[in-house]
Amino acid sequence: MTPEDEEKIDALLPEIKTAMKDYTGFTDKDLKDALWFNYLEVEPTLKELKIFVPRANSQIAKKVKSNFSKPSPDDVILDAQKQAFEDNIKKKDEEAALAKDVSNLKITPKQATKPKFKIDLDAELSKRQVKPHTSFVVIGHVDAGKSTLTGRLLLENNIVDKNTYTKLKREAEKAGKGSFSLAWVMDQTEEERNRGVTIDICTSEFETENGYFTIVDAPGHRDFVPNMITGVSQADIAVLVVDSSTDAFESGFNLDGQTKEHTILARSLGINKIVVAVNKMDNNDWSEDRFEEIRDQLTEFLKITGYNEDQIQFVPCSGLTGLNVASKPSTPEDQRKLKWYNGDSVLGALEKSEKFNRDFTKPFVMSIADIGSSSEFTGRIDTGTIQAGETVLFAPSNQAGVVDSVSVNNARVPVGIAGDNVTLKIKDVQIEEVQVGDIISIVTTEIPSVSKFESRLVLFDLKRPLLLGTQFVLFRGNVQQPAKITKIISLLDKVTGQVSKKKPKHLGSHQSAMVEIELLGRNLPLQLFKDNKQLGRVILRKDGSTIGAGIVEKY
């Protein structure tokens, strides 16, 4: 902050104090900090302060006054630093020279900074956990009805209003795709609507009486599996949508279909709970026999893939008609169609899922899923919490910046917590040096960026054995990079994990092994699997097929 900036802040302070006369629990320094973080603009400063600062007559204000009647240790240190700074700058000429020099330097702050506002973090976490937040990814073979099902969930939960839906229905009918109107809620690009398939991942949020939900709609076509991997990496639960129509399920379940590959990928990326939406049951006149036939085939496969049977739930439904999607049958006619079924609706199955244990105690870590034009970075928080005012570090670019604001679903919040899909506005970052898939962490926790690492691999169906030097595409969450095997260290027993053979010449289908992998592009931010399950998992793909999955053991 230059002396000129300090003069501007002092000039604006009376206006801010007058506007905040009905609020309490803040100091002049808090107001100055808020002005600084909002680029010396009065209106956004007041808007932010009124979100976080309690009114004078509130119970919260009384508690704040009691808790913060004395300067904090951080305030004492910062005031001492400010005094030392002022003592060292005595002459006007020296001030001008220093300001000029500083403006020409690229300084990357690496010290931790405190949050902008004082909040009761424990109380905030308790409040947020009353209604759990669950992210689920919708996966399955192309044309299984994934986007229609998710569109129906959004429509029934009033995220899409009737007027918007009527407009989409009219547009779909005009394009000769009348039955696609609900899918167009999620498929938003012209190419997706023309082709009738989802290409990129789409996310949306909704709330029920029992929880907050984030839907991630993933593409089903085999050409877009990389995008599907990105979607799965952001989810807690998978909703596998299968088309129950005659021959349609079999088409998606055979070797060339995506039902199996999507399911294997979801399990390999840490998804333990799966809801199987047996869709388009209206095409089979709600046949119980067809439902049981599909359930028998899929249950056996899901168990082999690694899902526990008590974490698998099958739900008959129709995304097009809405029956048993957001609620159980209510009319006598609908109840007759499903008289043989006593289970949950699709939404009911999601609401009954167990609460996920978020790790709030570990340092803040987030993988970037999207980058906005004004230094806004969107992603899902893996661990920890983040507040405005805190300093974060980017990997692999090693830049540091200060969080200006935290938003969830386009609304500012006092704190982002593990499991949240957040947008962080971060100051002092050269955005051109940051890519999707990079990692943001609290400044005191540096995420290593590596070029080589050792991984425990489980291999799937291989067209040919893997040899030293075999190249493939490696996926870590939402980033992909060319890589190769540089060492085959040992074969491992798939049951015990013990070494069964040292230095084998090659690896075959369904074997487990310890290998060394070298990245052929830029260094990749990774963590050991034992420290961070999201950043410690990798997927291997070659020639358009998924050939294996692994965890990071050493780097």
* Amino acid identity, position 125: L
Q: By C-alpha distance, which of 27, 460, 436 is closest to 201?
A: 436
* Amino acid identity, position 411: A
> For 147-203, what is each residue's pLDDT tens digit?
889 888 888 887 766 666 566 556 655 555 444 445 545 544 444 334 443 334 567
Cβ neighbours for 191, distance < 8 A, ≥ 6 positions apart = 199
Q: CATH classification of 449-554 is 3.30.450.40, yes or no?
A: no
Q: Which two tokens stand for residue 216?
A: 């991630």
Fold of 133-352: Rossmann fold (3.40.50)
Q: CATH classification of 365-442 is 2.40.30.10, yes or no?
A: yes
- For the chain, report the end-to-end CA distance as a whole number of angstroms: 40
Chain centroid to CA 501: 39
> What is the CB-side half-sphere exposure of residue 501 using CA atoms within 13 A?
11
Alpha carbons 116 and 212: distance in angstroms, whole number: 27
Backbone angles phi, psi at 289, to 5 degrees: -60, -45
Tell me the mean pLDDT per 10 residues along the chain, length 555: 74 83 73 75 78 51 42 43 45 42 44 84 77 86 85 82 61 52 49 40 79 76 64 87 92 77 88 95 96 96 92 95 94 96 96 79 92 89 94 95 92 91 93 93 94 95 92 90 96 88 93 95 92 91 89 94
Q: Which two tokens stand for residue 281?
A: 């049951």
In this prediction, residue 43 carries a pLDDT of 81
Cβ neighbours for 241, distance < 8 A, ≥ 6 positions apart = 138, 139, 140, 144, 145, 146, 149, 277, 279, 319
Locate the domains of the chain by residue range.
Answer: 1-94, 133-352, 365-442, 449-554
Q: Which two tokens stand for residue 519?
A: 């990245």
Please tell me if the domain spanning 365-442 has the same topology as the one spanning 449-554.
Answer: yes
CB 302 within 8 A of CB 330: no
> For 235-288, what is each residue's pLDDT tens digit?
899 999 999 998 989 888 876 667 888 888 889 888 999 999 999 999 999 999
Alpha carbons 275 and 218: distance in angstroms, whole number: 15
What string of H, E and C letters represents the secondary structure of 170-182? HHHHHCCCHHHCC
Longest dimension (CA), the chain: 89
Q: By C-alpha distance, which of 71, 42, 116, 111 is closest to 412?
A: 116
> What single-letter DSSP state applies at residue 363?
P
CA 492, 497, 498: angle at the middle one, nearest 5? Answer: 70
